Chain A
Amino acid sequence: QVTMNVGVAHSEVNPNTRIMNSRGIWLTYALGVGMLHIVLLSIPFFSVPVVWTLTNVIHNLGMYVFLHAVKGTPFETPDQGKARLLTHWEQLDYGVQFTSSRKFFTISPIIIYFLASFYTKYDPTHCFINTASLLSVLIPKLPQLHGVRIFGINKY
């Protein structure tokens, strides 16, 4: 297959594949989550358990949308549309599983879940919400679900 990388000064066909490996992005992500948490904590009528559950849910929702729902790239790539039907998670590292970015982004919602469970004192309602949210963001990351679209949702 032939691709024209015209106008670019590097041989990378799809920059989305290596953006999560670039310098400073893990830190930016962690700080972003921290900022979200601080903003939620500043809202006076949320108690601490509610804030932690909200952080967890909003983080997982954002992660689901950006990594597992939105497909393709926000810029044109010279790969003739190979990545158009792939979510960002599937594009990472050209589909190679268990790279360090993938491991990082799998572990970070789990850490947030542990913290949320602790701070909500394992209350059943909060636990249910947090667990459901965590599953929604962990299951799409399984290698068995690479490229899988359940019931045809989000296929095209």
Chain B
Amino acid sequence: MGVEQGGSSPLGPGGAPSLKGPGKHLLKPYLGTWRIILPGTPGVLPSVCLTLPPHQEVSSDGAPGAYPSKNKRTHLPTVWELESGAGVGRSFRGERKGGPWTFEERPGVKVVSAGKHCVLCGIVNKSEVYKDVLSEFVPLYQDFENFYTRNLYMRIRDSWNRPICSVPGAKFDILERVSYDYNWTFKYTGRIVNDVINMGSYNYLGFAENSGVCADAAAEITLKYGVGVCSTRREIGNLDKHEELEKLAAKFLGVDAAMAFGMGFATNSMNIPALVGKGCLILSDELNHASLVLGARLSGATIRVFKHNNMQSLEKLLKDAIVHGQPRTHRPWKKILILVEGIYSMEGSIVHLPDIVSLKKKYKAYLYLDEAHSIGALGPTGRGVVEYFGLDPRDVDIMMGTFTKSFGAAGGYIGGTKELVDYLRTHSHSAVYATSMSPPVVEQIIASMKCIMGEDGTTLGQERVQQLAENTRYFRRKLQEMGFIIYGNDDSPVVPMMLYMPAKIGAFGREMLKRNIGVVVVGFPATPIIESRARFCVSAAHTKEMLDTALNVINEVGDLLQLKYSRHRLVPLLDRPFDETTYEENED
């Protein structure tokens, strides 16, 4: 880091000197016209960058704010230096002394001791000098907050956002990419990896296809109705197709009426505020999806969180709520709404619906069930978690779901009594302000729903539902036998397999892709930092051969990466006949 004079500044003549070192932008207002260079810290994800990338005179991309070239590692400060504010203290001392500082690579031990020294210098000096400046402005971006992103996420981000060039069905094609700078930039090799088995898409019933009945129907409707509606439901955007869809959805779910919305996320976030408000209580599960959390926070109601799928925790909260009422006034709550999901997408666990329904009836609360992943995927005829448990759909006050996962489309719905749905038609934010669903999407949902219900005259839908159930059971059973730790209920098609170590997240994703399987790996912040996992989504479109291939590959990679953490070993059902010496299914 140093103060360099004149000529080598790439931004043209003028000889304005530039400072190097992290945190230098903090000195900018102090130094007037001096430009500042910030080596090492990337220009960062938003394009706001008060600094230039280092050594721009040698890099080819001239735009300021681009990611710095990571080839020259000699000048990059170590992570320790950046985070300890080493630069700030150091430069400030440099300022005081007036001499130039050079920023060369330094041996490790010196860095550590220098860093500690600078932390203390930086702490003392930073506050005195920048107090006036910093108290007026909120920093746009903080070096420390993107510590995780820069150091962990960037290194393994080739496992996410992979560009594909086919429909994400049971198999798909991926564009191959390489990175020569540790995933800061990607280059396409031009090769397409064909027929990668897709274990990551939410394609439970296999409707993600671009040929077949649903696709043809959607294409026909595009020709007839056009691509978009360009208006809201309450103005002139209500088509007969929407009404047909809503009647069909109500029939599918077994409720009085239903309303459909353009986005699954928006269904939750826009409708919960319409249903509850200030003075109401929301009891939401710990692991609820972001849309439910956002909807709950937007509504202004009091939110209390109960432990995941834990009925004792929920009952305790209900009892306390009813006994004590609202926090200070002790008035009774206007409404108590329990927010749960059918299948939780990160855990694969199925909600204990019978217990919740009995609790709700006992304490007279309302139940909002978000069946994003479970509609179409659970139950003997695919009607969701309510059918899976054999309950009455009228027990669930608000049945919400999405069309994204099992129906191969987009959007969400809410089903319930006619009064509820009529109220939502007038009071929901989506109905008033959001564009209505586009006709081809609506037709896709109608076609796929009819297929599942059997109304198109074939048994294809029923076969798909059964195929999914078989695939799920088989896949889960085999993975458990192999010795992996799998979360979730045995019937849920969402299969999270624990990886635990951050390094294994990247390793697993890459090894699976090398062997032609595409998987989704999840880490912090979506999961707790030590519970990273790989999440498989079983589909009805997977044949047994595909599942066997995938399982063999997972077995191989699991041995390679030592992922077989489970200490319970399931006795394989077919290999060992039941004789007088095996009474337990689990043999430790």
Contact = CB atoms under 8 A, between A and B. Distances in A.
A84 interface: yes
Given A72-B142, A72-B144, A75-B148, A7 B525 contact: yes
Contacts of B116: 61
Given A4-B290, A5-B293, A10-B286, A152 B147 contact: no
Contact of B127 (A1, A5, A153): A153
A6 B530 CA distance: 20
Contact of A5 (B83, B138, B290, B527): B290
A153 B290 contact: no
A73 interface: yes
Contacts of B134: 156
A156 B130 contact: yes
B346 interface: yes
Contacts of B293: 5, 11
A8 B305 contact: no
Interface string B275-295: 000000000101111100110
A75 B128 contact: no
A155 B144 contact: no
B345 A9 contact: yes
Nearest to A24: B530
Contacts of B345: 9
A9 B527 contact: yes
A4 B294 contact: yes
B507 interface: no
Interface residues of A, number: 34
Interface string A58-84: 000100010001111111110001001
B322 to A, nearest CB: 23
Given A65-B119, A156-B127, A22 B147 contact: no
A19 interface: yes
A49 interface: no
Contacts of B522: 9
Contact of B297 (A3, A24, A74, A155): A3
Contact of A81 (B126, B128, B138, B147): B138
A155 B131 contact: yes
Contacts of B284: 11
B127 A15 contact: no
B528 interface: yes
A2 interface: yes
B49 interface: no
- Interface of A, helix, strand, loop or mixed by DSSP: loop
Interface string A1-44: 11111111111000100010010100000000000000000000
A13 to B, nearest CB: 9
A154 interface: yes
Given A74-B147, A155-B131, A10 B287 contact: yes
Contact of B528 (A11, A22, A71, A149): A22
Contact of A15 (B131, B138, B147, B529): B529
Contacts of B344: 9
Contacts of A156: 126-127, 130-131, 134-135
Contacts of B526: 7-9
Nearest to A19: B529
A76 B146 contact: yes
B587 to A, nearest CB: 27
Interface string A128-156: 00000000000000000000010011111
B149 interface: yes
Contact of B524 (A5, A75, A81): A75
B123 interface: yes
28 contacts: A1-B297, A2-B294, A2-B298, A9-B287, A9-B289, A9-B290, A9-B346, A9-B522, A10-B346, A11-B305, A15-B525, A65-B119, A69-B119, A70-B83, A71-B144, A74-B144, A75-B145, A75-B525, A76-B145, A76-B149, A77-B145, A84-B142, A149-B127, A153-B123, A154-B127, A156-B130, A156-B131, A156-B135
Interface of A: 1-11, 15, 19, 22, 24, 61, 65, 69-77, 81, 84, 149, 152-156
Given A7-B290, A9-B527, 13 more contacts: A6-B294, A9-B526, A11-B284, A11-B288, A65-B119, A72-B144, A74-B148, A75-B149, A76-B145, A76-B148, A76-B149, A77-B145, A156-B131
